[in-house]
Amino acid sequence: MTQSKNKVVIFLGPPGAGKGTQAERLAHEQQLLKISTGNILRDHVARDTELGRQVKPILDAGQLVPDQILIALIRDKLASMDNVRVIFDGFPRTQAQAEALDVLLEELGAPVNAVPLLEVPDQILIDRIVERGRQAAAKGEAVRSDDNEETARKRQQVYREQTQPLIDHYAARGHLYTVDGVGSMDEVYGRILEGMK
């Protein structure tokens, strides 16, 4: 596995900051696989797998899924790739997850390249999440169980408490850079690319 072909980008930012949208675009333009543990977990819940039944009550309560479950999911995904060209969206969320991911990436010879941190004021985040739920309902789509104000506020609080050590972890390694997440999608995307140079 040659390191030059590997690329690992980790998007950080609170729920509703637009990580998913921006990660999707970057993945498409740079031929990277976007790994969203949230999507993988929601898929298991929707398919009513054993794992899905295990994590559904945790997700519904706005809590975080245990590290060993997430690391196992990611190890499984990365081990099957010839070149590790990925974007992580919503993972890692804790210092322990970051350290486990560092070990796994080192084993695979694919170090972290960049960690953009999207920053958006709290009230804008809450409004975005509630609006996302409203739009899904208006289109007759399934509304995510966490797209409501109460759960959104709880998730912001959990994010703040648990993610600060993560921000420090990647800042200390020189991978982290902050991105103003307010503005048009193109403006924010431009800032992300600028920071990756």
Q: Could you report the per-residue pLDDT of 108-124, keeping only the tens digit for each? A: 999 999 999 999 998 89
**Tokens at residue 46, please?**
């929707």
Position 60 in a domain: yes
From CA 187, how far away is CA 170, in angstroms rounded?
24
For residue 112, how many other CB atoms are within 10 A of its CB?
Answer: 19
- Annotated binding residue at 63? yes
From CA 56, how far away is CA 135, in angstroms rounded?
23
- Annotated binding residue at 93? yes
Position 15 in a domain: yes
What pTM does this model have? Answer: 0.79
- Annotated binding residue at 88? no
CATH code of the domain in which 65 resides: 3.40.50.300
pLDDT band at 4 (very low <50, low <70, confident <90, very high): low
Domain that holds residue 129: 3-191
Position 197 in a domain: no
- Annotated binding residue at 155? yes
Position 102 in a domain: yes
Position 184 in a domain: yes
Position 95 in a domain: yes
Residue 7 has pLDDT above 90, yes or no: yes
Position 196 in a domain: no
For residues 19-30, average pLDDT: 93
- Annotated binding residue at 16? yes
CA 59 to chain CA centroid, nearest Å:
15
pLDDT digits (tens, 9 = 90+) for 31-76: 999 988 878 888 888 999 888 898 899 988 888 788 888 887 888 7
- What is the total count of domains within the chain? 1
